[in-house]
Structure 1
C-alpha cells in the first residue's frame, strides 16, 4: 500500500464516521492504521482480548477496544509526510493562569500539611482549529515528533483525540516487562548544558520507587537503570528504565491496575493524589493521562540455531506483545476547537509560577501543529 491509498482509506473511514486509529511508535518509520468495520462500541475490563485499547485516567470509566478481528489493518513505511511548522507563540489567558496558580498553591499547602507527597495538576487550553482535517494534523505530528508515540484516534460514540506522547506506560513482550519513569521538564536549548534541581530529581525518584514497588509482586527479578536526560520535541525530561520478568501466574489486567495511573500523571500516594485531583481540578480528564496502544498482539521473530546453515536451521518464535503509552501531550477535537490537556507534578518544593511556565511549554507541542 502506498501513501496515497493508505491515507485515502483513512479519509474514507473518517468521512463514513467509522472508528479508527492511525499511529506510529517512537523512533519508527512505520505508520499503522486500524479501521473498524462497523460503528459498534467495544470495551474491555479484562484486557484479555487482542486489539488496540484506548483507556481513561480512571479505570472506573470505560476502556475502549478496537478488536483485532473486527478491523482492517494497514502499514506504511515512510520517513516524512509534511514539512515542519514554524513555532507559534501562545497568548496566555490570565484568568486561566490565576485559577491554575490557585490550584497549584492549594496542592503545595496540602502536601505540606498531610501525607500527600506529590500531586499532578493539569488544566485545559482551548484553541480554535476551524475546519482543519485531523488526519492532516496527524501528519504534522508524525513529521515533528519522532521520539514520541503519535496518534489520531476516533470513535463516533466517544470522540476524536490526537497526541504525541513521549511516555511508555509499559511494554510486555512474552514475560519481559519494560517500563520507564519519566518526570521533570525543562525547555530544550541548543548547545546549552542541562542542569536539574533537587525538586526535579526527587519527583523522578518518587515515580521510579513507586513503579518498582508496584511490579515486585508480579516479577521474579527487577533491573533499574541510571537516570538520564532525554529529549521529547522541544522539551527535556529525566528518565529511568525498569526491566523485569513477569512470573507465570500474573495476569495483564492486574499489572495494569498496579501501574496505572503512575505518580508521573497522578501523584503519590496514588489514592490520596487521585482524590485531590477529582475534587479540585475543575474539569474531567476523560482519556487525558489514560493510556493507549496495542493489546496482546502476536509477534513472530525468526531465530537461527546455526549461522552456517541459516535456511535449514531457522525457526519462528511467537510471543504475545502489548505496548501501552500514557496519553500525554494530547488534545480532543470538538466543535472546531482543540481541547488541549497539560499538567505538571507538584511537590512541597514547587514554585507556582515555574509550574505554570511548564504547562505553557508543554502546550506548544500541540499548538505548533494546529496553528
Structure 2
C-alpha cells in the first residue's frame, strides 16, 4: 500500500464519519490503522477482547473498544518527512488561567502539608483556534515524534484525539510484563547530561515505589532497572523500566486496575489524589491521562530467522500481545478548536510559579510543532 492510499483511506473514514484509529509505536516505521465498518459504539467488558481500546482518566467511565473483528486493518511502512503547511493560531495566555493554576497548586501543597496525600498531578486545558487538515496534523506528529507512540483516534459519537505520548502503561507478551515509571520534567537544551532537583528525584521515586509495591502480589521475577534521563520532544524526563512475569491467575484487567491511573498522572495515595483532582481541577479530563492501545492481538514470531515463510515454520510461536500507553502530550479537536492538555506533579517541595512554567513548556511541545 502506498502512503497516498493509506492516508486517503483515513480521510475517507473521517469524511464519512466512521470510527478509526491510526498509530505508530515508538521507534518504528510501521503505521497501522483500524477502520471500523460501522459507527456503533463498542465497549471493553473484561479486557479479554481483541482490538484497540481508548479509556478515560476516570475509571468509572467505560473503555471504548474498536473490536478487531469489526474493523478493516491496513498498514504502511514509511518514514514520514516533515510537512510545512497548516497551523494553529497561537492565542495569548489568559492571565486568569495562570492565576487559577497557581491557586490550585497552592491549595494542593496545603493539602499535602496537612497529610491528605503525598503527591497529586494537576492539569489544565488550553484552547487554541484550529485551522488545519486533520491528516496533515497527524503526519506532522509522525514526522516529529519518532520515539513516541503517535496516534489519531476518531469516533463520531465521542470525538477526535491526537497525540504523541512518551509513556507506556504496560506491555504484555505471553506472560511477560513490562511497564515504566516516568516523572520529572525539564526543558531539553541539546544534552541529556543534566542535574535533577531533589523534588523531581523524589517524585520519580514515589512513582517507582508505588508501581513495585502494587505489583508485588500479582507478579513474579520482578526487576527494576536503573533510572535514566530520556528525551521526549523538547522535554526531558526521568524513566525507570520495570519488568516481571504475570502469575497465571491474574489477567490483563487486574493489572490495569492496579496501575491506572498511575502516580505519574494522578498522585499518591491514588484514591485521595484522584478525589482532589475531580473536585478541584474544574474541568473534565475525559481521555487525557487515560490509556489506549492494542489488547490481545495475536503476534507470530519465528525462532528461525533464516526461514522467510513464518507460516510454514515449525519453530514459529504465536503469542497474545497487549501494548497500552498513557494518553499524554495529546489534544482534542472540536468545533474548529484545539484543546491542549498539560499537567505536572505536585509535591511538598513544589513552587507554584515554577509548576505553571512547566505546563507552559509542555504546551509549547504541541504548539511549536503546529
TM-score bin, normalised by smaller chain: over 0.9
Question: Where does the alignment leave 5 or more consecutive residues of structure 2 unmatched?
Answer: none
1:58 maps to 58
Contact 1:122 1:281 in 2 (8 A): yes
RMSD: 2.1
1:290 maps to 290
Cα deviation 1:283-303 (Å, max 9, x = unaligned)? 011100000000110110001
* 1:243 is the counterpart of 2:243: yes
* 1:179 is the counterpart of 2:179: yes
Cα deviation 1:334-369 (Å, max 9, x = unaligned)? 100001110000000001111111101111122123
* 1:223 is the counterpart of 2:256: no
- What is the TM-score of this pair, normalised by structure 2? 0.95
Cα deviation 1:179-229 (Å, max 9, x = unaligned)? 000000000001574110111000000100111111111111200001100
1:306 Cα deviation after fit: 10
Deviates more, 1:40-49 or 1:191-200: 191-200
* 1:276 is the counterpart of 2:291: no
* 1:141 is the counterpart of 2:151: no
Q: Partners in 2 of 1:136 and 1:84 — Cα distance?
A: 9
Contact 2:181 2:264 in 1 (8 A): yes
Counting matched residue pairs gives: 367
Contact 1:306 1:313 in 2 (8 A): no
Contact 1:305 1:313 in 2 (8 A): no
Give SS of 1:76's match.
Answer: strand
Contact 2:117 2:269 in 1 (8 A): yes
Contact 1:216 1:222 in 2 (8 A): yes
- What is the TM-score of this pair, normalised by structure 1? 0.95
1:122 maps to 123
1:302 maps to 302
Contact 2:53 2:293 in 1 (8 A): yes
Runs of 4+ in 1 over 6 A off after TM superposition: 84-90, 310-313
* 1:359 is the counterpart of 2:365: no
Contact 2:164 2:328 in 1 (8 A): yes
1:327 maps to 327
Deviates more, 1:100-109 or 1:88-97: 88-97
2:252 maps to 252
Q: Partners in 2 of 1:84 and 1:133 — Cα distance?
A: 12
The structure-2 alpha-carbon separation of the partners of 1:169 and 1:305, relative to structure 1 and needing over 3 Å to count, comes to closer
The structure-2 alpha-carbon separation of the partners of 1:305 and 1:184, relative to structure 1 and needing over 3 Å to count, comes to closer
Question: Where does the alignment leave 5 or more consecutive residues of structure 1 unmatched?
Answer: none
